Amino acid sequence: MTISNKDRSENVSLALRLLGNRFGGERVDGLIDSDDPVFNNVLPTTRKSLTDQGLLSEVPWGYRLTGRGWMEALNATGKLCDGQTKVNLGNLCAKLKKRIKQTARTEEGLVLIDELVTETGLPEYWIYNVIESQLIEECLKAFSKREALIGHQATKINIT
């Protein structure tokens, strides 16, 4: 049976909403079991499409939502750059700026995610996902020559 472009598009939107609702509150590096009920109404071709687009990564025993996939899932659920997200991003950026100023650095600084959790009160998974997805750039259009090195893998993000 051939699926129309409209039905394919609607199934991708459904998949992103389901992923956002189910996994929006978890780190993007967590395993999504192929048999997870979230996929019951998601066509196998949709999973492949999401993987091909870099929104999911296929791993043994399932999938992982990528940073970009998390951002698209937030968008599908209406939470991508909503008021609360911008407030949280502003809080996070303020703490990052403060770190750079405290050390009198003009180019780079290092801070662990655990420290940012303590300073901002934001959940660890959220800060990790913001960094992985480059959400600051997407929502705040924040570009600067100064960078902060964050986290366990020293992920770089741009801040203003």
Structure confidence at residue 144 (pLDDT): 39
Calculate the CA 49 to chain-centre distance: 19
Q: Model-level pTM?
A: 0.79
Between residues 24 and 107, which one has the greater pLDDT? 24
The answer to whether residues 69 and 25 belong to one domain is yes
Taking the C-alpha atoms of residue 139 and residue 80, their distance in angstroms, rounded to an integer, is 8
The answer to whether residues 71 and 96 belong to one domain is no
Between residues 96 and 151, which one has the greater pLDDT? 96
Taking the C-alpha atoms of residue 76 and residue 14, their distance in angstroms, rounded to an integer, is 8
Report the alpha-carbon angle 123-128-133, nearest 5. 125
Judge whether 119 and 95 are in contact, CB under 8 Å. yes
Given 59, 76, 93, the domain boundary residue is 76
Mean pLDDT of the chain: 81
| Number of domains forming the structure of the chain | 2
pLDDT single digits (tens) 34-91: 788 878 888 888 989 999 999 999 998 889 999 999 999 999 999 888 888 889 999 9
The answer to whether residues 67 and 89 belong to one domain is no
The answer to whether residues 91 and 108 belong to one domain is yes
pLDDT single digits (tens) 134-145: 888 888 764 333
What integer is the mean pLDDT of 109-126?
Answer: 88
**What is the domain extent for residue 101?**
83-158
